[in-house]
């Protein structure tokens, strides 16, 4: 049985400085039922009935199959908004991978006596029509080692400002991942980050000018045992949201102080918009099931696990490290789920806002060790008051969506 969506709640994530059967009569039912099954299928909690809801020829079919006798009941809702057709079928035969049903249909009852079902031709369906999704096969033993080599042709950033998005490709580097055996009950395995390239770099151009991003995994942290999780069955929400507020207050106005800014987790700006308290990220959860092979590398308070750390520097040219101190140092959260980022009071304009999101791609637990196999890790960040080299005097807030693709 499919497990309910689980949430990795209260993620401890830091900011990174740089994500036609209209009008059909009962006799037409057999034609519609024979169509290929859609994805709308579920099992009742007592596991005695299968619920199916799907589009067939433009009409909405909402039917129930009873496990004890194979009978089918339900309704057909037509696209013209007319009254639904009521359906009742008895299973007469299961043979050769097919189910044969003897069906009758009727319009809704408006006056007594109710009933009035008329016989429909026999309906033959493949057994798969009623089949629930099969659980994803789990590998035997540990998932093993994976050299997650970041492909510069498909890895990069998308930066969002009030002027629109701009892209830059070229990230290169690698992470060394190790996966434990999969828990057969939960379908979850632990992910360790046991090594990384000295630098993960992006040397590219954006509409604002040349851009070099230098991500230095802290060398003394390895191995990071328990850095994250992978869910081989699916059912876990590995996405999250980040909300930033450009202006929590202005030091010296309305009694607001630098100490209040610090207490709120903010930083007092000292460049453009000096004195404005730039707020920290407020982290929220995403309830969406990330799916089989979903991965999260992040500190998870409920587990008390360690986290993967990096030092990030934004520069204008290589080599890394010769243009000033790091923009950020701390946890580098990575996920195959969706990261949604919002800036409030965008560009220090009260009430203005900007939102963007990025989604990774899941790994394969059965082929976890395959270098260049499936898997894209992503994260998002915000930069306040960025001053593009190509536009002197301009300061803009930027959402950056990062994508590391193997």
Residue 330 zone, left/alpha/beta (φ > 0; ψ -120 to 50; rest): left
**Structural domain contains residue 13:** no
pLDDT for 8 beyond 70: no
pLDDT tens by residue, 92-133 = 999 988 999 898 989 888 888 888 888 877 888 888 888 888
Average of pLDDT values for 244-268? 97
**Structural domain contains residue 334:** yes
296 vs 3, more confident? 296
Average of pLDDT values for 344-358? 97
Average of pLDDT values for 225-252? 96
Cα gap 236→243, rounded to integer Å: 22
The number of C-alpha atoms within 13 Å of 326 and in the hemisphere containing its C-beta is 12
Q: Answer yes or no: do 306 and 364 share one domain.
A: yes
The pLDDT-based confidence of 208 (bands split at 50, 70, 90) is confident
Closest CA to 162 of 403, 391, 372, 405: 391
CB under 8 A, 24+ apart: contacts of 84-91: 84/108, 85/24, 85/26, 85/29, 86/117, 87/29, 87/63, 88/117, 89/123
Q: What's residue 56's pLDDT?
A: 66
> Cβ–Cβ contacts within 10 Å for residue 19, how many?
24
pLDDT for 1 beyond 60: no
Closest CA to 291 of 365, 373, 371: 365
Domain span holding position 293: 136-405
Task: Please state, in angstroms and as integers, the Cα–Cα distance from residue 393 to each residue in 32, 263, 324, 387, following that order.
Answer: 64, 31, 21, 7
Q: Answer yes or no: do 56 and 167 share one domain.
A: no
Q: Answer yes or no: do 198 and 291 share one domain.
A: yes
Q: What's residue 303's pLDDT?
A: 84
Q: Answer yes or no: do 115 and 147 share one domain.
A: no
**Structural domain contains residue 31:** yes
Chain centroid to CA 7: 12
Q: Answer yes or no: do 169 and 318 share one domain.
A: yes
Which tokens belong to 117? 């079902």
Helix (H, G, I), strand (E, B) or coil at 335: strand
Q: Domains in the chain: how many in total? A: 2
Q: What's residue 39's pLDDT?
A: 53
Q: Answer yes or no: do 54 and 110 share one domain.
A: yes
Give bridge partners of residue 338 from the DSSP assignment: 359
Closest CA to 14 of 405, 379, 375: 379
Mean pLDDT computed over every residue of the chain = 87
Closest CA to 298 of 288, 310, 280: 310
**Buried (b) or exposed (e) across 41-55, using 16+ Cβ within 10 A?**
beeeeeeeebebbbe
314 vs 148, more confident? 148
Q: Answer yes or no: do 169 and 269 share one domain.
A: yes
**Structural domain contains residue 392:** yes
From 111, 130, 149, the end of a domain falls on 130
Cα gap 311→380, rounded to integer Å: 15
Q: Answer yes or no: do 120 and 215 share one domain.
A: no
**Buried (b) or exposed (e) across 57-87, using 16+ Cβ within 10 A?**
bebbbbbbbeeeebebebbbbbeeeeeebbb
Average of pLDDT values for 49-71? 87
Cα angle 284-235-369, degrees, rounded to a multiple of 5: 100
**Structural domain contains residue 195:** yes
Q: Answer yes or no: do 248 and 188 share one domain.
A: yes
Q: Answer yes or no: do 181 and 288 share one domain.
A: yes
Q: Answer yes or no: do 111 and 163 share one domain.
A: no
**Structural domain contains residue 159:** yes
**Structural domain contains residue 186:** yes
pLDDT for 17 beyond 60: no
List the single range of 43-57, 124-138, 157-171, 205-219 with lowest mean pLDDT: 124-138
From 96, 130, 164, the end of a domain falls on 130
pLDDT for 241 beyond 80: yes
Q: pTM for the full model?
A: 0.73
Q: Answer yes or no: do 245 and 390 share one domain.
A: yes
Average of pLDDT values for 162-182? 96
**Structural domain contains residue 6:** no
The pLDDT-based confidence of 7 (bands split at 50, 70, 90) is very low
């Amino acid at each position: 049985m499919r497990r309910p969506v689980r949430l990795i709640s209260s993620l401890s994530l830091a900011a990174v400085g740089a994500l036609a059967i209209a009008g059909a009569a009962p006799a037409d039912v057999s034609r519609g039922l024979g169509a290929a099954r859609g994805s709308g299928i579920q099992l009742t909690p007592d596991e005695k009935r299968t619920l199916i809801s799907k589009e067939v020829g433009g009409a909405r079919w909402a039917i129930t199959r009873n496990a004890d006798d194979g009978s089918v009941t339900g309704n057909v809702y037509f696209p013209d908004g007319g009254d639904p057709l009521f359906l009742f079928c008895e299973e007469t035969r299961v043979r050769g991978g097919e189910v044969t049903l003897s069906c009758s249909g009727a319009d809704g009852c408006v006056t007594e006596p109710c009933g009035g079902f008329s016989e429909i031709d026999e309906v033959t369906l493949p057994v798969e029509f009623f089949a629930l999704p099969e659980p994803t096969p789990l590998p035997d033993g540990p998932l093993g080692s994976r050299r997650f080599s970041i492909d510069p042709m498909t890895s990069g950033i998308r930066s969002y400002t009030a002027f629109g998005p701009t892209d830059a490709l070229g990230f290169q580097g690698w992470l060394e991942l190790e996966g434990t055996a999969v828990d057969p009950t939960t379908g979850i395995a632990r992910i360790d980050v046991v090594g990384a390239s000295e630098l993960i770099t992006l040397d590219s151009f954006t509409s604002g000018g040349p851009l070099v991003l230098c991500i230095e995994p802290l060398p003394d942290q390895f191995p990071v045992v328990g850095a994250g999780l992978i869910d081989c069955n699916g059912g876990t929400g590995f996405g999250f949201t980040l909300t930033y507020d450009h202006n929590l207050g202005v030091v010296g106005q309305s009694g607001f102080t630098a100490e209040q800014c610090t207490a709120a987790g903010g930083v007092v700006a000292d460049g453009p918009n000096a004195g404005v308290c730039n707020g920290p990220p407020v982290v929220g959860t995403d309830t969406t099931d990330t799916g089989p092979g979903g991965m999260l590398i992040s500190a998870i308070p409920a587990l008390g696990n360690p986290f993967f750390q990096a030092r990030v520097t934004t520069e204008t040219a290589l080599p890394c490290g010769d243009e000033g101190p790091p923009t950020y140092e701390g946890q580098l959260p990575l996920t195959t789920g969706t990261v949604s980022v919002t800036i409030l009071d965008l560009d220090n304009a009260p009430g203005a806002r900007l939102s963007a999101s990025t989604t990774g791609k899941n790994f394969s637990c059965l082929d976890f060790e395959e270098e260049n196999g499936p898997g894209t890790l992503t994260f998002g960040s915000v930069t306040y008051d960025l001053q593009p080299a190509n536009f002197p005097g301009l300061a803009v807030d930027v959402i950056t969506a990062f994508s590391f693709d193997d």
